[in-house]
Amino acid sequence: MGSQLSSSSSSTLLLSLISAFLILLEIPPSHSNELYSSCSNLFSCGSIKDVGYPFWGGIRASGCGYPDLELSCENNTTAKIVIASVDYQVLGVYPETQVLKISRQDYANGLCPSKFTNTTLDPALLDLAPGYINFTMVYGCPPNGVLNIPGKFTCNINGIASNDGYTLLGNHGAGICFSSVVVPVSQALLTDIGNSSNSLPKVLQEGFEVSLKADYAACEDCTSSNGVCGYDSSVNQTTCYCADQSSGSRTCSPSSAAGPQGQSKDQGPKCSVGCPLEFQIASSQKPGQRILLQIASIA
Ligand SMILES: *[C@@H]1O[C@H](CO)[C@@H](O)[C@H](O)[C@H]1NC(C)=O
Ligand SMILES: *[C@@H]1O[C@H](CO)[C@@H](O)[C@H](O)[C@H]1NC(C)=O
Ligand SMILES: *[C@@H]1O[C@H](CO)[C@@H](O)[C@H](O)[C@H]1NC(C)=O
Ligand SMILES: *[C@@H]1O[C@H](CO)[C@@H](O)[C@H](O)[C@H]1NC(C)=O
Ligand SMILES: *[C@@H]1O[C@H](CO)[C@@H](O)[C@H](O)[C@H]1NC(C)=O
Ligand SMILES: *[C@@H]1O[C@H](CO)[C@@H](O)[C@H](O)[C@H]1NC(C)=O
């Protein structure tokens, strides 16, 4: 009888402890802490998962990444990015190699886009990755009697009599033709183009990779001090948001103990044995579960 009573009163205590913690966790973040919490979120859309710095967009506020690296999600299935006014589908984000893989949306359905726009990359932020080359499609060229010129294709352009187009390696202007478009392609896929399972439209849909020249070193310093990386566009610099609401310095002070959930490069708790309870709450992916376990082990 006595032992039943004490076990039921200890489970009541347990329940009230749990609800106290859950209430604590539901307090909305204070304004100055919004970026720490927003940038702890990762962007996911379709097959693109858990993207953090140097990108922003979706549930990540604009202070979480470089202004030109905004991701969006179309139909809950397709991640998109706009670079120099050209729409791209995001095919992959590889933080380990600091690479982004994209393909031009206007070439998703063939070689004939509704308007002709070059691929332009800001060299301060994006470089064509090794293995990819510039490739030019020229449109609306005067008819040429010769059949079977390699790289010849057909595209009807409104108001233009000729629908002959040609492909060329490297960057080229339109010359005697109506327009030209430079699109990077995979050198390996291009070489393989005679192969029946490969074709020029497919090579364009396979996209290309760009190296991101973000300040990963600054971000690494930030995450290793348990901060969350962001970008301060008032000074054009990578910045660090801390759990103690400070920001602007390169690292967080040791007192801001919480570990971020946000950086895909640096997931999971750093502290594994004898960690302070706040640490475990802040670094747990499922706070409720972690607290239950913690309290159960105290009881
Ligand atoms: C999104 O859905 C709309 C309507 O179903 C469709 O027209 C569009 O092509 C879709 N976009 C993508 C990127 O799948
Ligand atoms: C996208 O997914 C979210 C959550 O899974 C859902 O609430 C929303 O309605 C979906 N939107 C579309 C356009 O399917
Ligand atoms: C591709 O073209 C751009 C200019 O549009 C140039 O800056 C870049 O160096 C070229 N890259 C390669 C690999 O040829
Ligand atoms: C694309 O770039 C080439 C030079 O690399 C230029 O000659 C051409 O006019 C550009 N095309 C468009 C549509 O801007
Ligand atoms: C043809 O291309 C496909 C995919 O690009 C590749 O897997 C295959 O090995 C290629 N075949 C030959 C004979 O090159
Ligand atoms: C930040 O970059 C923008 C665009 O490149 C530029 O206009 C601005 O002057 C820069 N600001 C600082 C403080 O460097």
The least confident of 115-129, 168-182, 274-288 is: 274-288
- Residue with the smallest CA separation from ligand 1 atom 10 is 75
Q: Is the CB of 192 under 6 A from ligand 5?
A: yes
Query: What pLDDT shows up at residue 11?
Result: 53
Domains of the chain, by residue range, sit at: 14-39+215-298, 70-212
- Residue with the smallest CA separation from ligand 2 atom 11 is 76
206 secondary structure, DSSP code: T
Query: What pLDDT shows up at residue 160?
Result: 83
Query: What pLDDT shows up at residue 36?
Result: 93
Give the C-alpha distances (Å, rounded to integers) separating 188 from 151, 191, 193, 202, 291: 16, 5, 9, 13, 52
Distance from residue 172's CA to the centre of ligand 4 (Å): 7
* Structure confidence by residue, pLDDT tens digits, 30-71: 444 789 999 999 999 999 999 999 999 999 999 999 999 999
**Any residues with CB less than 8 A from the CB of 240 and at least 6 apart, and which?**
218, 221, 222, 225, 227, 228, 229, 230, 247, 248, 249, 250, 251, 252
- Of all residues in the chain, the percent with pLDDT exceeding 70 is 72
Examine the pLDDT at 253 and tell me if it is beyond 90.
no
Distance of CA 248 to the CA centre of its chain: 23
- Of all residues in the chain, the percent with pLDDT exceeding 90 is 59
d(CA 147, CA 49): 47
DSSP per-residue string spanning 24-51: HHHSPPPGGGHHHHHHHS-EEETTEEEE
- What value does the mean pLDDT of the chain take? 79
* Structure confidence by residue, pLDDT tens digits, 69-110: 999 999 999 999 999 999 999 999 999 999 999 999 999 999
Return the ligand number nearest the Cα of 103: 1
Query: What pLDDT shows up at residue 143?
Result: 84
Cβ atoms 153, 166 nearer than 8 A: yes
- Scored b (16 or more CB within 10 A) or e, 183-218 reads bbbbeebbeeeeeeeeebeebbbbbbbbbbebbbeb
Query: What pLDDT shows up at residue 279?
Result: 36
Distance from residue 75's CA to the centre of ligand 2 (Å): 8
pTM of the shown model: 0.76
